[in-house]
């Protein structure tokens, strides 16, 4: 998969636990599917739209400390869709940490800019088969301004207008 975007966030929950903001949302992931040519994308096979949930932790982000740069983690995601008559499910690889950094800065008129970067580790299942780990992905969440009065729940979600993903290149020794 490549050219991945996640949008349409709808807040499920947003709480602060032990000084860390935890956000859960429904979202839609869109991706282009390509042939796998030894870890590089080959011919485009088509487009898929998944729906599901995604959960984040923003370490050290609270109502008292809403601005700054925070280490972050995608703690869970599970998206399901269909492609050429097959059910495809993508979820977070439970054996690897999908971590990154999120920056929240204030703009004029009570708006905020939220930008994030994550290394994302996923597994994919087709037609209920076993989950197979996918290649690691770098994911950037693009910035979007939003009103400051809505609170942390919406700050975290409206700012997450999309994922832009590209294949991580293997480093050779």
Residues 137 and 165 sit within 8 Å (Cβ to Cβ)? yes
The set of residues, in sequence order, having a beta carbon less than 8 Å from that of 91 and lying 6+ positions away, is 76, 77, 78, 79, 122, 123, 125, 131
Q: List pLDDT tens digits, range 66-88.
A: 899 999 999 999 999 998 889 99
For residue 1, name the pLDDT band (cuts at 50, 70, 90): low
Q: Which two tokens mark 121?
A: 């580790």
4 or 118, higher pLDDT: 118
- Domain boundaries, given as residue ranges, for the chain: 2-167
């Amino acid at each position: 998969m490549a050219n991945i975007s996640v949008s349409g966030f709808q807040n499920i929950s947003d709480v602060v636990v032990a000084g860390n903001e935890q956000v859960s949302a429904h979202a839609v992931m869109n991706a282009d599917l390509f042939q796998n040519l030894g870890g590089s994308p080959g011919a485009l096979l088509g487009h898929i739209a998944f729906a599901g949930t995604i959960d984040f932790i923003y370490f050290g982000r609270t109502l008292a400390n809403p601005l700054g740069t925070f280490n972050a983690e995608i703690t869970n995601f599970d998206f399901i869709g269909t492609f050429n008559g097959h059910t495809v499910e993508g979820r977070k690889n439970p054996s690897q940490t999908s971590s990154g950094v999120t920056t929240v800065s204030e703009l004029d008129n009570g708006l905020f800019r939220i930008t994030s970067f994550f290394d994302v580790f996923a597994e994919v299942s087709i037609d209920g088969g076993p989950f197979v780990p996918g290649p690691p992905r770098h994911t950037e969440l693009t910035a979007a301004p939003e009103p400051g009065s809505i609170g942390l729940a919406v700050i975290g979600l409206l700012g997450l207008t999309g994922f832009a993903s590209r294949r991580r290149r293997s480093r050779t020794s």
